[in-house]
Amino acid sequence: MKEALGRYRNLHIHGDVVLGGKNVGESTVFNIVASTIHGPVAKTIQDSFNTVSAASAGQEVKTILGELHKAVLTMLEEAKSKGQLTDEEQAAVARDLESFSNEAVADSPRRKWYQFSAESLKKAAKTLGEIGKPVLELTASVLSLLS
Query: Could you tell me which residues come within 8 angstroms of residue 134 by beta carbon, excluding any fewer than 6 positions away?
Result: 3, 4, 7, 71, 74, 75
pLDDT of residue 119: 97
pLDDT of residue 64: 96
**pLDDT tens string 15-42:** 333 333 333 334 444 556 556 666 888 8
Give which of 1, 16, 17 is closest to 135, Cα–Cα: 1
**pLDDT tens string 38-61:** 688 888 999 999 999 999 999 999
CA distance 72 to 41: 11
**pLDDT tens string 72-114:** 999 999 999 999 999 999 999 999 999 999 999 999 999 999 9
pTM, two decimal places: 0.77
Return the DSSP state at 129. G
